Chain A
Amino acid sequence: AQSVTQLDSQVPVFEEAPVELRCNYSSSVSVYLFWYVQYPNQGLQLLLKYLSGSTLVESINGFEAEFNKSQTSFHLRKPSVHISDTAEYFCAVSDKRTYKYIFGTGTRLKVLA
């Protein structure tokens, strides 16, 4: 069975400050790792994904996530946040065999002016 833990339900941060959203997972099978973002009143959008290879994955809007196999973590970071990054962020794993997604409980990022 797989599980995903996002310890921080809410993260307030000032504009232009760095942020880290934490994600830990457990799985007895091989999984893919994802971060999805949900802006207010919208569906989920893929932010970035980890397949294999380099442990650092980058997105087009400045976010990056680092896969750490020994700590089973996939933390999301951004060196300087903008007001427009205010959203809810979900970490997820996908079972390679069944394609089923398991989501964390989400982290609300609130960027303050």
Chain B
Amino acid sequence: EAQVTQNPRYLITVTGKKLTVTCSQNMNHEYMSWYRQDPGLGLRQIYYSMNVEVTDKGDVPEGYKVSRKEKRNFPLILESPSPNQTSLYFCASSLLGQEPPEAFFGQGTRLTVV
């Protein structure tokens, strides 16, 4: 089954404790991205990657890092989480060259930073 898998689904952590949210897709998609969803703001892009070892900032990259060492994985790293990063996070992937480029989303990770 084609899917994007995020882990964990729920996470409560304390300010400053480094954490990683994993994202993996099994569709051989080149394009992957991370979004955060906040009430009244919709989804905003954090980082994206066009292919292995190619990453770039989205609209709200501050406080986040990503890496793309393998095509299927695109982890989101919070080196020193703060309460304003409490949010619902989604990973998505798309096939480059497809018209239009349908995005497949993971189930989401609800992060609470206290």
Q: Could you tell me if A44 and B105 are in contact, using CB atoms closer than 8 angstroms? A: yes
Give A51 to B90 CA distance when docked, in angstroms: 24
Chain B residues near A105 (CB-CB < 8 A): 40-42
Known A34-B100, A94-B100; judge A106-B42 contact (CB<8 A). yes
Q: Tell me, rounded to whole Å, the shortest Cβ–Cβ distance linking B26 to chain A.
A: 15
Besides A45-B105, A46-B103, A100-B45, 14 new A-B residue pairs in contact (Cβ under 8 A), listed by A number: A32-B99, A32-B100, A32-B101, A43-B90, A44-B43, A44-B103, A46-B102, A49-B100, A51-B99, A99-B94, A101-B43, A101-B92, A101-B103, A103-B42
Known A34-B100, A94-B100, A105-B40; judge A99-B107 contact (CB<8 A). no
24 contacts between A and B (CB under 8 A): A4-B42, A6-B42, A34-B100, A36-B105, A42-B107, A44-B43, A44-B103, A45-B105, A46-B103, A49-B100, A49-B102, A50-B100, A51-B100, A90-B42, A94-B103, A99-B96, A100-B45, A100-B58, A101-B35, A101-B43, A101-B92, A103-B35, A103-B44, A105-B41
Interface 0/1 of A79-111, CB less than 8 Å to B: 000000000001000100001110111100000
Q: Which residue of A is nearest B110, CB measured? A: A41
